[in-house]
Amino acid sequence: MAESLDILAGRVAELIIGAERVVVFTGAGISTESGIPDFRSPGGIWERFDPDDFTYQKFVRNPETRRKQWLVLRDSGLVTEAMPNPAHCAIAELYKMGRLDCVITQNIDNLHQKAGVPADKILELHGTMQRAVCLDCGQRYPFARIKTRLDGGEELLDCEACHGILKPDAVLFGESLPEAVLKEASLRATNCDLFIVVGSSLVIYPAAYMPQYAIESGAKLVIINLSPTHLDKKAVVLIRAKAGEAMSQVIAELSQRLNR
């Protein structure tokens, strides 16, 4: 008989209480509850477009590819005013309780920051959609300005300062992850004693190496995800539930224990 969510959440709460350094790792599954689509799920962006057409190399080389990418990003939900959901808020609460070392995220939607986790506690492995960068002069633009241009009908965006190529400050296919962020995330994963995966199927590398680093260094692993992952058997607690429901219950159980 499967254990109930409150029992599993209670076990996670006990692990948090007993840990010195808690790292939370988040993927697309945490943000779908805020209305942001998972690109790889049925009905997602990559069922309608070929990801091979959206590489960094093609973006730089081909104006038509750049036009397509901007239009896809405009229509993807990533440049809307999405708001944090209960899962993001629960992780922010973990920070406020002094129980969070950092968040390592694959997401580029800024929702952890909106929920109240300080930017210096968030390691964005795949960059961010909150700004665009000129590949020629390095000028950065907030995405609110970019969205205004896209909504105004522009399809091929250039730098306002030098007319160079503008690129979202998110990692594209074929583009290396930001080296400093990857190094810091690997260090945090290696030095934590509790690693909590929320909303990731752990199929995208090198991000998916992070829980492996934690396990190999002796940390305990918790996985909260609707679909199976290749590390499920390594988890000391495995919760098959929506991120918001599970993380809210974890915080409720944690608060209850801390207030006894």
Q: In the prediction, which pLDDT does 44 show?
A: 53
Residue 87 sits in the same domain as residue 21: yes
Mean pLDDT across 2-16: 94
Distances (CA, A) of 250 to 5, 6, 105, 145, 188: 9, 8, 19, 38, 22
Which range is least confidently modeled, 30-39, 99-108, 125-134, 170-179? 30-39
Of 185, 196, 195, 202, nearest to 219 by C-alpha is 195
Whether 88 is catalytic is no
Q: What is the CATH number of the domain that holds 43?
A: 3.30.1600.10
Of 63, 69, 47, nearest to 171 by C-alpha is 69
| pLDDT tens digits, 60-82 | 999 998 988 888 777 765 556 78
CB 34 within 8 A of CB 111: yes
Q: Of 88, 112, 126, 163, which residue is the catalytic one?
A: 126
Range(s) of the domain holding residue 2:
1-36+83-126+177-260
| pLDDT tens digits, 109-133 | 899 999 999 999 999 999 998 889 9
Domain count within the chain = 2
| pLDDT tens digits, 214-252 | 999 999 999 999 999 999 999 999 999 999 999 999 999
Q: What is the CATH number of the domain that holds 240?
A: 3.40.50.1220
Residue 70 sits in the same domain as residue 184: no
Mean pLDDT across 178-195: 97
